[in-house]
Amino acid sequence: MPNHPSPPGALSRRTLLTGTAAAAGLGLTGCGSLAVSLSDKTVVKQWNLLAGADGAIMTDLHTRFEDEYPDVDLQATTLGWGTPFYTRVVMGASGGNGADVATAHVSRIKSLAPDTLLDPFDLKEVEDAGLDPDAFPAEIWEKCFVDGDLYAIPLDTHALVNYYNREICEQIGVLDADRTLLETQGRDAYFEILREAKAITGQYGTSLDTFGGWRQFWAWYRQADGEMSFGDGDYEMDDDKALQAIETMYMMAEEGLCPTFADGAQCAANFENGAAGFVQVGNWEITRFRAFNEAQGLDFSMAEMPDFFGNRRTQGDSHSFILPHHNQWDPEVRKATIEYVAFMLHNSFDWGAGAGHTPAYLPVTESPEYQALEPNAEYSGVVDNVQLDPDVWFSGSGARLFDESGSVFQQVYSLALNPEEALALLKERIQDLVSLPNPVD
């Protein structure tokens, strides 16, 4: 899992904006912050955190953009996922000479101090570029606004989903006529399927990333309508619903329905080598499983998370485009930057088809071409069920809450902590985070 910084000290926004401005300008030169074009083209500097298979797909889209916009010199830079990326974005924006556009998670927008370190989009310029503001999932679109200003435009939704081995599922008898997974209602019903899958594999029913337990916890907690809110140095959480989610983890591990220890790589490998009939991981793993299928054969498909507590909500996030703060925008650069964002959304079919992420722009997701994609269309409804992490600076993709809670849930899966002990420790860890100052506040 990505590393994150030690607890931040008391760093004022004024210190950040002045004391690091020079360092940002110099230290990021190699990242394209001072990049210039050797021709008369308009330079657009793009930063992203996509180094995997989805990064290759984004690179292909960038090539297509440059072919369609020959007067634009798109200079894209990939930075380290998580903390390294967001630190660079903050430093570049503090000096006003970082990227023109960056790819960021919607869950991290507020932690980037949008009123200071980001520039808002103007709805008119978005519409002029051919994007319809009404053509996005409402819940994700609303998260892109802060104090009435639009600070992000979502590219996709990506979420915890349920992969299944069709051959094993056929033996269990849980596929319908078109070989898609039958829906179940309730935790007990799904556990029974996992028991049958375990009997066939001889090892597990499902594979999970036991180091990434926050994703499972948040999915099951939100399925039960659990809320988590923060303010005034304190927070509110429904202990009964949190305990229910943790008990689900413990019960699954105790019965041997999932591994007691599996990092991300082992989690996926368990599914590939037939040690598990199911695996609950992010939709981005589709590229790995497709490659394995081509090389060695793996008849798999994907569905939304199963209904444990009354619905199919799941933990997820959204890659989006943000505008790091500029001391002064060049009108031509600004125009080309917005055209780039619009191009990426209009052409996000390939992003979804290849990377597994579900395009956020509804004209793409709802198109007949996308709805004919397999297995993408089977889990396309996830856009209505994605639950972003709690709204607080230490939450979201690549943030502290994921790591701190993950170390607790890892001990649940390993059966080192019972659910009651884990809940008490989780609350202690969250309170510790609440007591820390926001480093950019």
Q: Is the pLDDT of residue 3 over 90?
A: no
Pairing verdict, β 278-282 and 206-208: parallel
Name residues whose C-beta falls within 8 Å of residue 36's C-beta, 6 or more positions apart in sequence.
Answer: 43
pLDDT tens for residues 30-74? 333 344 556 789 999 999 998 877 888 999 999 999 999 999 999
- pLDDT attached to residue 441: 64
Domain locations in the chain as residue ranges? 13-155+318-346, 159-316+389-434
pLDDT at residue number 113: 86
Fold of the domain built from segment(s) 13-155+318-346: D-Maltodextrin-Binding Protein; domain 2 (3.40.190)
DSSP character string of 365-393: HTSHHHHT-TTGGGGGGGGGTEEPPPSST
Helix (H, G, I), strand (E, B), or coil: what is residue 33?
A: coil
Q: Is residue 14 over pLDDT 90?
A: no
Distance CA 180, CA 375 (A): 9
Distance CA 139, CA 136 (A): 9
13-155+318-346 shares its CATH topology with 159-316+389-434: yes
pLDDT at 194: 98
Domain at 159-316+389-434, CATH homologous superfamily? Periplasmic binding protein-like II (3.40.190.10)
Instruction: Write the CA distances from 438 to 11, 16, 58, 395, integer angstroms.
Output: 8, 12, 32, 11
Residue 13 has pLDDT above 50, yes or no: no
Contact 408, 426 (CB under 8 A): yes
Of 176, 224, 222, 184, the closest CA to residue 205 belongs to 184
Tokens 């950040």 identify what position? 16
End-to-end CA distance of the chain: 27
What's the confidence (pLDDT) of residue 383?
86
Answer whether the bond into residue 259 is a cis peptide, omega within 30°.
no
pLDDT score, position 34: 44
Write the pLDDT tens digit of every residue in 72-108.
999 999 998 888 899 899 999 988 878 999 999 999 9
Task: Over range 376-386, report the average pLDDT.
Answer: 89
Model's pTM, two decimal places?
0.87
